[in-house]
Amino acid sequence: MTKLNVLIAGSTGYIGIELVKILSKHKNVSVKYLCGNTSVGKKISFYDKSFNSKILPKIVKFNKSYLKNVDVIFTALPNGEAQDISKSLLPKNVLIDIAADFRLNSSKNYSKWYKQKHRAPNNIKKSIYSLPEITGKVIQNFKIISCPGCYPTSILLPLIPLVKKNMIKLKSIIADSKSGYSGAGRGVHKIYAKKNLYNSLKAYGVGFHRHNSEIEQELKKYTKNENINIIFTPHISPMFKGILSTIYIETKNGVSLKKLNKVLKNTFAKKQFVKIKKINSLISTNDVINTNECHISICKTKYRNKYVILSAIDNLIKGGSGQAVQNMNISFKFKETLGLIWK
């Protein structure tokens, strides 16, 4: 078959590098353009030596004239820049955004949480927020696909099925998430230049992190207008990558641990990348690093009707590049796992 021509904008960031790795091995893809700003003219191997043996284009500055030569545009850019690109899309193009430009369903909410005006508000209604295991094939009807944030991916995958079945109380959900420092981007090394990045743990965005907005937005789709209160606190940890979210829930009407686990197992039984582990399994990021998988475990506590959900992903793959390629596969009717399973 004819390969898809792909442009990657933001190819040298941590997620961009992982995206290039995946797409350069994808049998149905040809990487046509790698785009950057300060990296223009350099080879991608400058940023990752594993590309030394790969034949890939040199990094160029994005130009909208490139759009006529590509089918898919992946954007891993600062907030707002994918909005600009979206205004130049041609009918043949599909834009898959890994940043936050189309995650929120109104320009008003975007301005509230991201403190900047949305530059392509008319394209919001033309976009879809796609957590692939939940959204499925409906994304084939859209030309702008918004990938979830890394933290929301780890939180929404276990919570949506339980909220959908009306099994948990919606005003007492707490999500405590630890991420590798790669989640803060390459700039994290400058921020911690005179601090001890590799031996410290830091909470940030307490109470008002931007990912609160998409977590609540997506859960509300399944609540039948019932208000939802979730307290989400992210942390940067000294590991390079991975996310472990610890989610505290209380069940309705005495729903048992076994029933919770059964709903998750049934929901994801045919989903290759979501693994529901045995009850009380103490999972870790080590189980999912360098995979497109999410591992989930439900654990009992000493209190009746109160449980702890553990959810682990690789923030750069399932929380970023891998999920983006998974969305591309579904959008173009490829096998969903194509290019995403490594030995």
Integer angstrom CA distances of residue 98 from 18, 129, 278, 281? 12, 11, 31, 31
DSSP string of 305-338, one letter each residue: TEEEEEEEE-TTIIIIIHHHHHHHHHHTT--TTT
Quick one: tokens of 287?
């189980």
CA–CA gap between residue 193 and residue 343 (Å, rounded): 36
35, 150, 294, 299: the active-site residue: 150
Q: Angle between the 107-114 and 211-220 helix axes, to the nearest 10 degrees?
A: 150
Asked if 66 and 7 touch (Cβ cutoff 8 Å), the reply is yes
User: Is 150 part of the annotated catalytic residue set?
Assistant: yes
Collapse the DSSP code of 100 into the 3-class scheme (helix H, G, I; strand E, B; otherwise coil) and give the result.
coil
Residue the block writes with tokens 């033309």: 126
Catalytic residue IDs: 150
